[in-house]
Amino acid sequence: MAIKPITGMLRRQIVLDLSVALGLGITGGYGWWYGYHVPAVRHRDAFYQKLEDERAAALGLN
C-alpha cells in the first residue's frame, strides 16, 4: 500500500493558521484600543481637567 504524498498541505495549513491568528489578534487589539483604552483615557483626562479647572477657580486664576 502506497501512501499518498502530502506535499504542500502542511505549508497551506501553517499559512492559514498564521493568517487567522494575525487577523484575530489585530482585530482584538483594535477592539481593545478603541473600545476600552481610548474612552478610559478620555474619561481620565476629563476628570483631571475638571480638577484643574476647580483649582484654578478656587485660586481666582480665571
Contact 34, 40 (CB under 8 A): no
- 2 found inside a domain: no
Enumerate the H helices of the chain as residue ranges.
9-32, 38-59
Strands (E), 1-62: none
**C-alpha distance from residue 7 to each of 1, 10, 18, 23, 42 (Å):** 18, 7, 19, 26, 53
- 58 found inside a domain: yes
The answer to whether residue 62 scores a pLDDT higher than 70 is no
How many domains is the chain built from? 1
Q: Which domain holds residue 61?
A: 33-62
What would the pLDDT profile of 8-58 be if each residue is shown by its tens digit?
778 888 899 999 999 999 999 999 999 999 999 999 999 999 999 999 999
> Which residue bears the cell 483615557?
41
- 47 found inside a domain: yes
Q: How confident is the model at residue 6 (pLDDT cuts 50, 70, 90)?
A: low
pTM for the full predicted model: 0.69
